[in-house]
Chain A
Amino acid sequence: ETGVTQTPRHLVMGMTNKKSLKCEQHLGHNAMYWYKQSAKKPLELMFVYNFKEQTENNSVPSRFSPECPNSSHLFLHLHTLQPEDSALYLCASSRAQPGQTNEKLFFGSGTQLSVL
């Protein structure tokens, strides 16, 4: 148990569906992240939120829409996805401090997404 909970664990959706991934952290951290993990590729940083404010959006297509209502909750809204979006989506949190470079990320178990 890492203190970061993701739901659902598995999701199968069609290209026309709308779904949301949820992440909740119980660690009192101020930063939350979405990463995408595809087979044989490095984890790709998608979005970063610090104190509810989005600080990074790494050229992610608009069919992925993040939402961070507070420092403990993070959502990823999915709409008209493509089959190549099938991957493991990982949420993480940390006690981020600007200028700090030895961040400890705490990850959830991920949502395994399949787009048909």
Chain B
Amino acid sequence: TQLLEQSPQFLSIQEGENLTVYCNSSSVFSSLQWYRQEPGEGPVLLVTVVTGGEVKKLKRLTFQFGDARKDSSLHITAAQPGDTGLYLCAGGAYNDMRFGAGTRLTVKP
């Protein structure tokens, strides 16, 4: 079973600060995905990283896939209250998609 460990589990910061959250595994993944889940809603896909070393940007969010394809990071620049939510990483085949436990981010105004 491919396990995904996310850190930190909780993160509370002030608006305008930068932050990085991590997703690590001892297994190699052909791709990893990042989802954001807001309270009372299901997860929504943010990005998929496929190539080792790949960097993708989505406005103030920067996603990186490790060279060995065992880990990924999400960096948020100048966080805003609207970034508050649970950030989940996921990977695997369609019939065996595994998720990390997530990082719960709170951005205070």
A107 close to B33 (CB less than 8 A) = no
Interface status of B61 (Cβ within 8 A of chain A): no
Query: Which of B91, B92, B101 interacts with A40 by CB under 8 Å?
Result: B101
Which residues of chain A in 78-116 are interfacial with respect to chain B, using CB atoms and an 8 Å cutoff?
90, 92, 94, 96-110
Known: A41-B101, A42-B4. A56 touches B96 (CB 8 A): yes
10 residue pairs, one from A and one from B, having the closest CB atoms: A107-B42, A96-B94, A43-B99, A102-B31, A103-B94, A101-B30, A42-B101, A48-B95, A42-B99, A56-B95
- Supplied contacts A40-B9, A101-B92, 8 more A-B pairs, CB within 8 Å: A31-B95, A42-B102, A50-B95, A56-B95, A90-B43, A100-B94, A107-B42, A109-B41
Query: Which positions in A face B, CB cutoff 8 Å?
Result: 2, 4, 31, 33, 35, 40-43, 45, 48, 50, 55-56, 90, 92, 94, 96-110
Interchain residue pairs with CB less than 8 A apart (28) = A33-B97, A42-B99, A42-B102, A45-B96, A56-B95, A56-B96, A94-B94, A96-B94, A97-B94, A98-B94, A99-B93, A100-B93, A100-B94, A101-B29, A101-B31, A101-B91, A101-B92, A101-B94, A102-B30, A102-B48, A103-B97, A104-B33, A105-B45, A106-B45, A107-B44, A108-B42, A109-B40, A109-B42
